[in-house]
Amino acid sequence: NEVTREKGNKGFVPLYCDFESFYNQNLYRRVRDCWNRPICSTPGAWFNVMERVSPDYNWHLNLTGKSSRCINLGSYNYLGFAENSGPCAEASLETLIKYGAGVCSTRQELGNLDIHIELEKLVAQFLGLESAMVFGMGFATNALNIPALLGKGCLILSDELNHSSLVLGCRLSGALVKTFKHDDMKNLEIRLRQSIINGQPRTHRPWKKILIIVEGVYSMEGSIAILPELVRLKKKYNAYLYLDEAHSIGALGPNGRGVVDYYGMDPRDVDIMMGTFTKSFGAAGGYIAGTKELIAHLKFRSHSSVYATSMSPPVAQQIISSMKSIMGLDGTNTGSQRLQRLAWNTRYFRRRLHEMGFIVYGNDDSPVVPLLIYLPSKVVAFCRECLKRKLGVVVVGFPATSIIGGRARFCMSASHTKEMLDTALDVIKEVETILQLKYSKLPIEKK
Ligand code: PMP
Q: Is the pLDDT of residue 428 over 60?
A: yes
Do 267 and 323 have their domain in common? yes
Determine the pLDDT at residue 70. 84
SS3 127: helix
pLDDT recorded at residue 319 = 98
138 & 234 share domain: yes
Give the lowest-confidence range in 59-63, 154-158, 417-421. 59-63
Note whether 175 and 100 are same-domain residues: yes
Residues with beta carbon inside 6 Å of ligand 1?
Answer: 137-139, 142, 163, 165, 215, 219, 244, 246-247, 276, 278, 286
Question: Is residue 67 predicted with pLDDT exceeding 70?
Answer: no
Measured between alpha carbons, how far is 341 from 326 in angstroms, rounded to an integer? 13
Ligand 1 center to 139 CA (angstroms): 5
Task: Name the residue with the closest Cα to ligand 1, atom 8.
Answer: 246
C-alpha 416 to ligand 1 mean position (Å): 22
Residues in the chain, total? 447
Structural domains of the chain, count: 2
Residue having the nearest C-alpha atom to atom 13 of ligand 1: 138
Mean pLDDT of 387-414: 88
Model confidence at 328, in pLDDT bands (50, 70, 90)? Answer: very high
Mean model confidence pLDDT for the chain:
88
CATH number at residue 142: 3.40.640.10
Between residues 396 and 311, which one has the greater pLDDT?
311
Q: Is residue 430 part of a domain?
A: yes
Amino acid at 257: R
Q: Is residue 203 in some structural domain? A: yes
Residue 157 dihedral angles phi and psi, to the nearest 5°? -110, 110
Is residue 441, in this structure, part of any structural domain at all?
no
Q: Is residue 6 part of a domain?
A: no
Pair (236, 137) in one structural domain: yes
Among 297, 327, 357, residue at a domain's last position: 327
The residues, any chain, with a CB within 8 Å of residue 194's CB and separated by 6 or more, are none
Judged by DSSP in three states, 106 sits in strand
Question: What average pLDDT does range 301-330 have in this prediction?
Answer: 96
Residue ending a domain, choose from 327, 349, 384? 327
Query: Closest ligand 1 atom to the C-alpha of 162?
Result: 3
Same domain, 280 and 391: no
| Domain housing 284 | 87-327
Give the pLDDT of residue 388.
85
**Residue nearest to ligand 1 atom 1, measured at CA:** 246
Which residues have C-beta within 8 Å of that of residue 332, sequence separation ≥ 6?
A: 325
**Which strands make up the sheet holding 50-52, listed edge to edge?**
50-52, 59-62, 69-72, 391-392
Amino acid 9: pLDDT: 44
Hey, which of 78, 134, 159, 165 would you mutate to test ligand 1's pocket, going by the most ligand atoms within 8 Å of its Cβ?
Answer: 165
In a domain, residue 309? The reply is yes
How many A from CA of 442 to the centre of ligand 1?
31
User: Region 420-439: what's the mean pLDDT?
Assistant: 93
Q: What pLDDT sits at residue 443?
A: 66
Q: Is residue 78 in a domain?
A: no
Q: List active site positions.
A: 219, 247, 279
Residue 256: Cβ-neighbour burial (10 angstroms; 0-12, 13-18, 19+): buried
Q: Tell whether the model's pLDDT for residue 177 goes beyond 90.
A: yes
Helix pair 334-355, 313-327: axis angle to 10 deg: 80
Q: Identify the domain boundary among 327, 349, 381.
A: 327
Centre of ligand 1 to C-alpha 104, Å, is 24
